[in-house]
A and B are shown apart, each in its own frame.
Chain A
Amino acid sequence: MASLLELSDVSLSFRGVTALNALSFAVARGEICALIGPNGAGKSSLLNVINGVYRADAGDIVFDGRRFEAIRPGKAARLGIGRTFQHNALFRRLTVRENVLAGLSRHGGASFIENVFRFGRDRQERRDFSARADRVIAFLGLDAARDRIVSTLSYGIQKRVDLARALVSEPKLLLLDEPMAGMNQDEKTEMSRIIAEVNRAFGTTIVLIEHDVGIVLGLAHHIVVLDYGRKVADGAPDAVRNDPDVIAAYLGTVH
């Protein structure tokens, strides 16, 4: 099967307000898929469904050949779904390195007792995790900030830490909720380059939400356009750009 993630007829509503309406699309293994649409189109809700924060009212989600049942964020993480958050949900009193190390939690096999007394599985894991964290920190150019407390860093750097924390666990699917929100043009270009690089170097499948259509058209292989919880368009960037429905629903209107 070529697709890593497949949604069919997924619906979600909050007390009668429809957030997602019979939504179907597939994300192929190894691609960068961008979700775009106006505010309130259901993009973040969709990520939250894929990540198990919300449970869909109806529809099927198949991830990596397995059907989702009553999934929760912890289980999603252990299945290999990593994510970043729109607001930086970092552990702000921890250092950059500790945040990244925390990202490896799903790989930890050692028990609390082993952790505390540093024996058994803990020794091997400690070395292994430390090396993996350092590699990701270097990859994202965070070396200089390694031992800084996250809350003291600039917003743009924090966004990168959020990505590092998700990336370190080598997820099969990486969900990025507005990774470039609040960034200036240079920072956006840099982040976009990093995301493309992650996709290329690790082969990670990426689903991202981004408002800057210019960036999205250059970065994504596949674009899904949402409006009022419905799918308006789905296809390659060039096809989507010229789709009259998309122009009407999103590209042509002012937000």
Chain B
Amino acid sequence: MAFFLETLIAGLFAGLMYGLVAIGFVLIYKASGVFNFAQGAMVFLAALVFVTLVERGVHFWVAFAATSALMVLVAIAIEALVLRPLRNRDPLTLFMATLGLSFVIDGATQFFLGTDVHMLDIGIEDIAQDYGGLFISQFDIIASLIVVALVAVLALVFSKTRMGISLRAVADDTLAAQSIGIRLPVIWRIVWSVAGIVALVAGLLWGARQGVQYSLSLVTLKALPVLIIGGFSSIPGAIVGGLIVGASEALADIYLGPLVNGSVSTWFAYILAVAFLLVRPAGLFGDRDIERV
């Protein structure tokens, strides 16, 4: 029983990390109506810039602030160079543009900062400790506290500020939002900046666990089933979707793996996502009729 619980808990923690990546997608989906394929590249870029700064002796928080500033600049550049020229285009065009963007960001990052794998130490030990008979890693606990805090901050900004109202207004009806004078470019810059900073946090936590390397960019592929299950337009959905994917794939790996003689976690999330598509195509928290105007 303890083993089952430990597996479940480890899976849920992993799920929160998936959710963290998925939040970046949800933010951009809500504001720009596009699945931002470049989100993974943004995670990679942020983590690699951060680790490079830290390796050169820059203080942790200075590096964090500098990388955040860079992500804001990237957001402004994306708005000016990609989103604005393509506005009012079909979402598929926009999606293809983000696909291209992911190659540009991945390529530029590796061109300037190299392709080495960097170890990242963010000062949290990844050692399991005994909590009343259950062995849980301190890293997992702190990482999930960070995720919860981030979600809480985002929820507050979205619900309590006037800018939050504008952001939700754009997500609900873009044309009406423009017609009452909401400046779409400003909203896009802000949302892409926030998604960039979420990418930085995700990059640090993922990077600390598996090293900062190109494979961080591929978290995009893991976020997809999370978003299909949780719904593309809901932040709580991203978290719940992440938890479902994390927990179910951890359990499937242990209990289903031996039956099929292989690692189940590489594909289980996708099978689950397909099942959701058949039963509940909008996801658990998504809107039925999401469409970009």
- The reply to whether A93 and B176 contact each other, CB–CB distance below 8 Å, is no
Cβ contacts A to B, 7 pairs, < 8 Å: A74-B183, A77-B180, A91-B173, A98-B165, A102-B169, A105-B180, A108-B162
Q: Does A103 contact B (CB under 8 A)?
A: yes
By the criterion CB–CB under 8 Å, are B172 and A94 in contact? yes
User: Using a Cβ–Cβ cut-off of 8 Å, how many residues does chain B contribute to the interface with A?
Assistant: 23
Determine if B162 and A90 form an interchain contact, defined as CB atoms under 8 angstroms apart: no
Task: Give bound CA distance, A254 to B50, whole Å.
Answer: 71
Question: Is there a chain A Cβ closer than 8 Å to B150's Cβ?
Answer: no
The answer, yes or no, to whether A14 is at the interface (CB within 8 Å) is no
In contact, B180 and A165 (Cβ under 8 angstroms): yes
- B168 interface contact, C-beta 8 A: yes
> Given the complex of chains A and B, what is the CA–CA distance between A108 and B182 in angstroms?
9
Say whether B179 contacts A116, CB under 8 Å.
Answer: no
**Main secondary structure on chain B at its contact with chain A?**
helix
CB distance from B5 to the nearest CB of A (A): 37
Say yes or no for A231: interface residue by CB 8 A criterion: no
Does A204 sit within 8 A of B, measured CB to CB? Answer: no
* CB closest chain-A residue, reference B190: A112
Closest chain B CB from A185 CB (angstroms): 28
Q: How far is the CA of A184 from the CA of B164 in the complex (A)?
A: 36
B-chain residues with CB within 8 Å of residue A98 when the two chains form the complex: 165, 168-169
Our pick among A73, A105, A118 for the contact of B175 (Cβ within 8 Å) is A73
Q: Is there an interface contact between B180 and A103, defined as CB atoms closer than 8 Å?
A: yes
Set A83, A91, A125: member contacting B169, Cβ < 8 A: A91
> Which residues A79-103 have CB closer than 8 A to chain B?
82-83, 85, 89-94, 98-99, 101-103
Q: Is the CB of A89 within 8 A of B162?
A: no
Q: Is the CB of B163 within 8 A of A102?
A: no
Classify chain A's interface size: 35 or more
Q: Which residues of B contact A (CB under 8 A)?
A: 157, 161-166, 168-169, 172-173, 175-184, 186, 190
Contact A169 B180 (CB under 8 A): yes
Q: Is A126 interfacial (CB-CB < 8 Å)?
A: yes
The distance in angstroms between the C-alpha atoms of A170 and B173, with both chains bound, is 21
Alpha-carbon distance A78/B179, docked complex (angstroms): 9
Q: In this complex, which of B162, B178, B184, B186 has the most chain A Cβ atoms within 10 angstroms of its Cβ? A: B162
Q: For window 156-192 of chain A, which residues contact chain B by CB distance below 8 Å?
A: 165-166, 169
Inter-chain contact A94/B169, CB cutoff 8 Å: yes
Q: Does A58 contact B (CB under 8 A)?
A: no
B286 to chain A, nearest CB (A): 12
Q: Is A24 an interface residue (CB 8 A)?
A: no
Most B C-beta atoms less than 10 A away, residue of A53, A85, A90, A112:
A112
Q: Beyond A89-B173, A91-B173, A93-B168, is A115–B162 a contact (Cβ under 8 Å)? A: yes
Contact A115 B161 (CB under 8 A): yes
Is A91 in contact with B172, judged by CB distance below 8 angstroms? Answer: yes
Known: A53-B175, A89-B173, A90-B173. A77 touches B181 (CB 8 A): yes
Q: Tell me which of B172, B184, B190 contacts A93 (CB under 8 A).
A: B172
Q: How far is the CA of A93 from the CA of B158 in the complex (A)?
A: 13
B168 touches A91 (CB 8 A): yes
Does A194 count as interface, using CB distance less than 8 angstroms?
A: no
Interface bits A118-136 vs B (CB < 8 Å: 1, else 0): 1000100110010000000
Check A101–B162 contact: CB distance below 8 A: yes
Q: Is B157 within 8 A of A89, CB to CB?
A: no
Assess whether A77 is in contact with B163, with CB atoms less than 8 Å apart. Answer: no
* Contact B163 A115, beta carbon cutoff 8 Å: yes
Known A-B contacts A91-B172, A93-B168; the reply to A116 vs B181 at CB < 8 A is no
**B168, A94: Cβ atoms under 8 Å?**
yes
Alpha-carbon distance A250/B263, docked complex (angstroms): 72
State how many angstroms separate the Cβ of A78 from the closest Cβ of chain B: 5
Closest Cβ of chain A: how far from B19's Cβ, in Å? Answer: 21
Given A51-B179, A53-B175, A77-B180, A116–B157 Cβ distance below 8 Å? yes
Q: How far, in angstroms, from A89 to B169 measured CA to CA in the complex?
A: 10
Known: A91-B169, A91-B176, A94-B169. 12 other contacts (CB 8 A): A77-B178, A89-B179, A92-B172, A94-B165, A94-B172, A99-B169, A101-B162, A102-B165, A102-B182, A110-B162, A116-B157, A166-B180
Contact of B173 with A76 in the complex, beta carbons under 8 Å: no
Closest residue of chain B to A93, judged by CB?
Answer: B172
**Residue A230 at the chain B interface, CB threshold 8 Å:** no
| Residue A67 CB within 8 A of the other chain | no
Complex interface: chain A residues within 8 A of B178 (CB): 72-74, 77
